A and B are shown apart, each in its own frame.
Chain A
């Protein structure tokens, strides 16, 4: 092996953040960027709801409305939900499996910067002639040049760049979980959040290449005269729908499984019981992941695939209710007879259960093809998917953030503000989306920018908008909470919740090498086992020694900037710019592959002996 530098390269401030390959810092980057996009998407939602507050109003106008719904959906899914999930995975998974690091620290940081610059590219459309306006599903032919503006080009290229980031992020976590577990951490001893991250990463690996292809085809049609989706030249629009949903349906499970993982951790911690039915939970998670790939065509019941196909996809969809039901009952049985503490994190988790169940029930209703002909593209669908995405995923993310905040930042979020945050958001949420079921059943179509007076749609829409303000207040309170917490000087202990899994065995926030000595895992709920046995901490599986760390690098940032530049070149047919951008990216790849990165060592005597005792 080549010689190692023996000291960490000293970097500070902004430069440190731009070059970091530490998964815990990348987690924070994901959280900040995803959080900002969440606020942007929320602002767009608020404008949508303001426009729909009263009949026949013209707060934003039809064109802007189309841009708003498109950007809202796209932003929330790709630029807010996914990154915040990645934030939690980065912050928690390596700690839960007792690893020093992720498998590919460099790739991890590249994944973040690709997502970031893809998202920025997408959002610059607002200032460069208009945002995409064909819906977050970008259905063709609507999304082709004849019917939609330049904005869709931003969608195509922005999502392509961000999607690449997600894909390599997924591979990183798969390899990390398979290869980097501490001794004794068998698969059936892994915490549920790690399991969920594992299955989610697998779904990412098989779902994202499909959208990659879809976006390439759409790009060829829009920018280079391709005819994939142009019926006049033999193209076929249903191909887009297939490809989009072969990606899109697994995507919603990519979103929800990590939330399930969070809920499992939080509920068992705050009920002070081991998770009920752990192995059935693992099985259910894997089964949901598998079935998630089998059901994409339930988004296409009305495209004329035929009765047989519709029936099969309908049945397959309903099957998912079985493993999901298993999970719901396991959570309830975990709480049964437990010593429950209603911290804010647990409030979100408990609030999740009935809310998500409602969303699941409307999902089964939508899976009945003849009934779907009635619900299709109505507000009933909007209500359904917000019950699962917001009532499921966003609640889960809030729960996870309150739970792991001390591990990420070394401070506990304020509980009083947290409870206000929960209740305003929770009540606001149900006010917003519950009436939408009825609006849909009464005939209000999805994606319309206004509606007529006195058709029984006025009251529902009005309540819905009021609810949206409730959620806005909730979100603002969360932001306030972050600042209040940051300003307070109280530090969080290593194990503030009396936790069960490994991440609580080391200081909050953990040192850069996570575990001074790799821990020895003796069972499920590894840390809890040691606590019950009266041990102060984990038994180490290795003697104290030098720790090898990867060096920071500016290349991931630069590589992403290269693609960002090339993206504009493609959009404006300026091939000089394309070449410059790609050259930057390739030069970085070249540098990376030719220059070996030996990393550096942290010496034994520099390692603070706080976490694990020898």
Chain B
């Protein structure tokens, strides 16, 4: 174990050191269970409505592989940097945590930027939430995910700011841990979006 002097008092796995920490961890896992149902319902709705374009643009006309691939790359990398942050947490090294999280946030911002560009582009092509049932379900599913990314960025930044004052303690450690758990979750959801919305949408044809 690294024995950085100031943190020497911190127990191993500081995120689970207190009952409060354990409660938070369990509660957060359960919350993610609920989020799974939430995204599951959105996916089901999207799959049911994806071919209902009502004369508006279809997914084949809209989607653009390089853009989506770039966004995916950014987000997947950010999950890796979040893992590095958790490893740093277990080494009780606040500085490293901060560095890795900063990279995570920057990658997340890049992803969001691409998504906003993508949406604006689509609207330009006449693909709006009100154009068709496909439009409604696309923006709701992908937008919900984007909202989660935005929230995650805000959360991590706030954590980073407050940790500069408070340092790494048994109170802040669970928060770092949960934030990166959350970040992995939205990453996994994106993998499904990438497959179900974009890949399947670009192949085209009726599925199911």
Task: Mark A residues whose CB is within 8 Å of B.
Answer: 1-2, 103-104, 107, 167, 171-172, 174-175, 178-180, 205-210, 212-214, 216-217, 220-221, 224-228, 230, 233-236, 239, 242-243, 246, 590, 593-594, 596
Contact = CB atoms under 8 A, between A and B. Distances in A.
14 contacts: A103-B23, A179-B19, A179-B23, A206-B33, A206-B37, A209-B35, A209-B38, A213-B38, A217-B140, A228-B137, A228-B140, A235-B49, A243-B41, A246-B41
Interface of B: 19, 22-23, 26-27, 30-31, 33-35, 37-38, 41-42, 44-45, 48-49, 52-54, 128-137, 140, 155, 158-159, 161-162, 166, 169-171, 175
Contacts, number: 122
B108 to A, nearest CB: 18
B48 A239 contact: yes
Contacts of A214: 41
Nearest to A2: B171
A54 B134 CA distance: 49
Q: Which of A1, A171, A207 is the most central at the interface, judged by chain B CB atoms within 10 Å of its CB?
A: A171
Q: Which 4 A-B pairs have the closest CB atoms?
A: A234-B52, A225-B130, A234-B133, A209-B38
Given A226-B129, A234-B49, A594-B162, A104 B27 contact: yes
A341 B204 CA distance: 70
A236 B30 CA distance: 31
B34 to A, nearest CB: 5
A220 B143 CA distance: 12
Contacts of B128: 225
A596 B166 contact: yes
A593 to B, nearest CB: 6
Contacts of B35: 209
A212 B44 CA distance: 14
Given A174-B30, A234-B133, A593-B162, 12 more contacts: A175-B23, A175-B27, A179-B26, A206-B34, A213-B38, A221-B136, A227-B136, A234-B53, A235-B49, A236-B133, A239-B48, A594-B161
B34 A167 contact: yes
Q: Which of A172, A206, A590 is the most central at the interface, judged by chain B CB atoms within 10 Å of its CB?
A: A206
A1 B30 CA distance: 27
Contacts of B53: 234
B23 A235 contact: no
Contact of A226 (B34, B41, B140): B140
A213 B42 contact: yes
Contact of B132 (A103, A104, A207, A234): A234
A177 to B, nearest CB: 11
B85 to A, nearest CB: 17
Given A206-B34, A234-B53, A236-B52, A179 B22 contact: yes
Nearest to A234: B52
Given A171-B30, A590-B158, A227 B133 contact: yes
A414 to B, nearest CB: 40
Given A172-B27, A205-B33, A226 B158 contact: no
A509 B175 CA distance: 35
B165 to A, nearest CB: 9
A234 B130 CA distance: 11
Contact of B52 (A107, A224, A235): A235
B46 to A, nearest CB: 10
Contact of A235 (B136, B161, B171): B136
Q: Which of B27, B42, B48, B52 is the most central at the interface, judged by chain A CB atoms within 10 Å of its CB?
A: B27
A175 B130 contact: no
A347 B35 CA distance: 42
Contacts of A596: 166, 171
Nearest to B41: A213
Contacts of B169: 1
Contacts of B134: 234
B181 to A, nearest CB: 15
B173 to A, nearest CB: 12
Nearest to B158: A593
Contacts of A242: 44
Given A239-B48, A596-B166, A103 B27 contact: yes
A104 B23 contact: yes
Q: Which of B19, B44, B136 is the most central at the interface, judged by chain A CB atoms within 10 Å of its CB?
A: B136
A233 B132 contact: yes
A596 B41 CA distance: 36
B37 A593 contact: no
Nearest to A586: B154
Contacts of B162: 593-594
A214 B49 CA distance: 15
Given A179-B23, A227-B132, A239-B45, A212 B38 contact: yes
A212 B40 CA distance: 12
Q: Which of A178, A207, A209, A246 is the most central at the interface, judged by chain B CB atoms within 10 Å of its CB?
A: A209
A136 B155 CA distance: 36
Contact of A213 (B19, B45, B159): B45
Contacts of B33: 205-206
Contacts of A230: 133
B27 A171 contact: yes
A217 B48 CA distance: 14
A234 B155 CA distance: 37
Contacts of B52: 233-236
Contacts of B49: 228, 234-236, 239
Contacts of B34: 167, 171, 205-206, 208-209
A237 B159 CA distance: 43
A174 B155 CA distance: 25
A199 to B, nearest CB: 14
A234 B54 contact: yes
Given A179-B26, A205-B34, A234-B54, A220 B41 contact: no
Contacts of A243: 41, 45
A593 B161 CA distance: 11
Contacts of A246: 41
A305 B13 CA distance: 51
Contacts of B171: 1-2, 596
A226 B128 CA distance: 9
A236 B52 CA distance: 9
Q: Which of A103, A178, A226, A234 is the most central at the interface, judged by chain B CB atoms within 10 Å of its CB?
A: A234
A233 B158 contact: no
B155 to A, nearest CB: 8
A226 B136 contact: yes
A217 B171 CA distance: 38
